[in-house]
Structure 1
């Protein structure tokens, strides 16, 4: 079975990085996964990091990052998948109802279905990488494995 999601108005909106599920991570409370993810681009630049952490909406964090792309940490392309997994793990572990929803997907393929992104999404036609879907499936597996050890 395939489970597709994209925005806050569609099915499985809870899987979207913009979904309002505040989480504690690295000593701070982040309103969304997107806030945490965008801020991590600037861990070596405290001013930009702090600015992003104070923005209200996920779209504002993306717009800010695009406007300041020249100062993104140099290793970003090497660490971004790990950063996303860390944020997704925190989101689903800290919100029991969201964790239950993720686990109820069983072994289904999870797909961020959008023509707007061919890296995190499927590119709209299935040719994209679907890295967010892959990340959610990795988080699901990790949570299942953690629960088996207890």
Structure 2
């Protein structure tokens, strides 16, 4: 199976898979500058902490600040809801931007792997670290979104063929 490894938002063409890639999305009725913003907005227990995070000058600084929150500043069930939140954020990102969806769909059935350069627990959860492994949850979720988009696209094609046949 072909592997596609990605990490930095600036890498062409697969940097779009990074949550730090600068493309606004609408999620839960709010416009966020990146998918990282939309994801991390769900982490803060208090509104003032959430807004402080959202004011970070870059998505990378937002991620660093959010990873450094004290436990009492994090919603109590974060460890249970974070994966569903990320799935929702990714679905929003790739259904709201046809150009990004096209890049994801062009990967066909390749294994998508976020390959981090720094070894820490966050990078081993969302991606892999060479020589250390990891769960690659971001890559897995991107493949789930890709499967959803593929099924949606094939349903549209079947409908269009059926409509043309009926004419």
TM-score norm. by structure 1 comes to 0.90
Alignment deviations for residues 77-114 of structure 1 (CA, whole Å, 9 cap, x no partner): 11111111111111111111100000111111000011
- Please point out which of 112, 127, 137 is paired with 2:143: 137
**Structure 1: runs of 5 or more not aligned:** none
Matches within 5 A, 1:1-150: 1-11=2-12, 12-42=14-44, 44-70=45-71, 71-116=73-118, 117-125=123-131, 127-150=133-156
Is residue 10–residue 21 contact of structure 2 (8 Å, CA) maintained in 1? no
Compute the RMSD of aligned alpha carbons: 1.6
Counterpart-to-counterpart distance in 2, 1:39 and 1:82: 14
Counterpart-to-counterpart distance in 1, 2:64 and 2:80: 22
TM-score norm. by structure 2 comes to 0.82
Structure number with larger C-alpha Rg: 2
Q: Structure 1 residues 17 and 147, CA, compared in 2 at 3 Å: closer, same or farther?
A: same
